[in-house]
Amino acid sequence: MHSVSEALAPVERFAELSHFRHDLHACLTSRSDALFELCDAVLCTDRPVTSLVELSLEPVFRRGHGALYDALAQGSINEDALRDLLAAHIPDDAPLVFGVDCSTYPRPDAECSPERGHHYSPCRCDGDRKTVPGWSFQWLTGLEWGSSSWTHPVDVRRLAPGHCQIHAAAEQVRGLLGRLGTTERTSGPGPAPLIMFDQGYAASALSHALDGEPVQVLVRISGDRVFFDGRPGPRKPGPGRNGVHGNRFELSASPQPRTPDEVLVVADSRRYGRVEVRAWHGMHQKVHREGYFAEHFPDKFTRLPIIEVTVIQVRVEHLPDGRAPHRPMWLWHSGPQRPDLDVCWRGYLRRFDMEHTFRLLKSELGWNAPRLRFPEQAQRWTWLVIAAYTQLRLVRRLAPDLRRPWEKRARSGWGLSPHRVRRGFRHLRERVGTPTRVPKRTGPGPGRPRGSKGRPAPRYPVRTKSNKTDIRATSAGEKKS
């Protein structure tokens, strides 16, 4: 016999979804009905989104295809209010663990699209190029524990050519802390939120940009870096100044010349076998007056900062597919408190759930499918896709399992994948309704005035790193010593 709380749980989840949809509609300040129904069309179609105009044929989109393009071109979204809404719907039982990563909206042949730059692309299908002309978006996403592909996107910002990704990441993290600062989870004595970054981010610049904030920074670093322990060695013979950075600590040295300050051993993890985590506290790198630090310390007579961090080494017995790892993983940790080694290595592995989210947004929800001309339109479309994904997460325990005859049943205790939840969303939408108004009946438009002539659209070059104002690669502030 079910308890009263279990019986009321579906009602509460439907109410949460209904409240989210009404608040989302309030965040759409212009062309709100068309934008909202476009978001519903993404969720209710029974196939992957490969064309933007095809969404106008969905029954939930009660307007013409012209209103669809007009909504993305002339509509507006209160992005700050939407960020507040997304942060407010982070589950109470979710850990304060977040990941930051960039993903590219490719527009390689759009010569009429402004502010395009060369950004990383995992595959160009020619074996040579690893970049593609387009727009880069930086995502801030909440993560979960356990074997789950669900995440909680809370913020996204487009990185214009020449804009520093370190500054953008710091602004996103500060904005998130401001939204979480009023909750008891961040004001208590517990650990500070953990923000994780991939190897492409400059660790020293991130730690300096977020210095003084109640947040832990965890960055993956290359295994060929050199650190110093900050303790001057014995007096050198002869003239000259004694070393001020201390003894060298090379990550590639084998065996390590210095005993770790802290060791954690997990005898038998489920997917990686024996896991050994070692930490060295009070380490720092030599930073150079380039990139991020050249901007903040332009005077050559100003001493560059020494940023003390914890260097973490993670060794596993085998990978999930059984292969032996060919090298250990190195992590950089900085924050107001000593790191919890068990949380660090497990949390960083959960960062790869963002890749599953990107794959779903692109292959199923069609994030990079529309061929939009202006980056502002891509920004609005990105927010709609995030809102659609968040609604899927809110109903993941309510959606029916409409599996195909050839598909396997969902494993007990794992729940449905985002793909299967989307398949049953149109049935749940009928129960919560829609806050949009019925469209007005109108006739055909007047069309182009007689005698007018169209002019060719202007062409824009693709920005490259050869431009001195482009400080996208801020890792130049860190060099191997």
Write out the two tokens for 383.
Answer: 């927010």
Residues in contact with 280: Cβ distance below 8 Å, sequence separation at least 6, in sequence order: 227, 229, 249, 258, 260, 261, 310, 311
For residue 469, which amino acid is it?
Answer: T
pLDDT value at residue 479: 43
Composition of the chain by helix, strand, coil, percent to 5: 30, 20, 50
pLDDT value at residue 449: 85
Bridge partners of 311?
A: 280, 332
Contact 210, 173 (CB under 8 A): yes
Write out the two tokens for 240.
Answer: 């000259």
Exposed/middle/buried for 70, CB within 10 Å: 0-12, 13-18, 19+? middle
pLDDT value at residue 48: 94
Q: Determine the Cα–Cα distance for residues 312 and 278; give it in Å rounded to an integer.
A: 6
CA-wise closest residue to 145 among 371, 367, 349, 444: 349
pLDDT value at residue 315: 93
The widest CA-to-CA distance across the chain, in whole angstroms, is: 92
- CA dist list (Å): 305 to 204, 208, 302, 463: 10, 8, 9, 32
CA-wise closest residue to 230 among 211, 212, 216, 249: 249
Spell out the alpha helix ranges (H) of 324-374: 341-350, 353-363
CA-wise closest residue to 19 among 427, 437, 391, 389: 391
CA-based end-to-end distance of the chain:
67
Q: Determine the Cα–Cα distance for residues 203 and 194; give it in Å rounded to an integer.
A: 14
Query: pTM of the prediction?
Result: 0.89
pLDDT value at residue 465: 66
pLDDT value at residue 475: 38
Q: Determine the Cα–Cα distance for residues 224 and 232; give it in Å rounded to an integer.
A: 23
CA-wise closest residue to 77 among 316, 356, 384: 384
- Per DSSP bridges, beta strands 194-197 and 97-106 are parallel
Residues in contact with 252: Cβ distance below 8 Å, sequence separation at least 6, in sequence order: 223, 224
pLDDT value at residue 417: 87
For residue 296, which amino acid is it?
Answer: H
pLDDT tens for the chain, 481 residues long, are 444 444 457 888 899 999 999 999 999 999 999 999 999 999 999 899 999 999 999 999 999 888 999 999 999 999 999 999 999 999 888 899 999 999 999 999 899 999 999 888 776 555 566 788 999 999 999 999 877 789 999 999 999 888 889 999 999 999 999 998 744 555 556 789 999 999 889 999 999 999 999 999 999 999 899 999 887 666 666 666 656 788 889 998 888 888 999 999 999 888 889 999 999 999 999 988 888 898 888 888 888 888 999 999 999 999 888 888 888 999 999 999 899 999 999 999 999 999 999 999 999 999 999 999 999 999 999 999 999 999 999 999 888 888 888 888 877 767 788 999 999 999 999 888 899 998 887 777 777 888 888 888 899 999 876 544 333 333 334 444 4
Q: Determine the Cα–Cα distance for residues 8 and 432; give it in Å rounded to an integer.
A: 16
pLDDT value at residue 411: 76
pLDDT value at residue 481: 42
User: Phi/psi class of residue 437: alpha, beta or left (left: φ > 0; alpha: ψ in -120 to 50)?
Assistant: beta
Q: Tokens 């407010």 appear where?
A: 88
pLDDT value at residue 262: 94
CA-wise closest residue to 27 among 74, 67, 86, 68: 86
Q: Determine the Cα–Cα distance for residues 370 and 68; give it in Å rounded to an integer.
A: 12
CA-wise closest residue to 89 among 7, 13, 201, 2: 13
**3-class SS string, 263-312:** EEEEEEECCCEEEEEEEEEEEECCECCCCHHHHHCCCCCCCCCCCCEEEE
Write out the two tokens for 473.
Answer: 């690669």
CA-wise closest residue to 350 among 101, 33, 131: 101
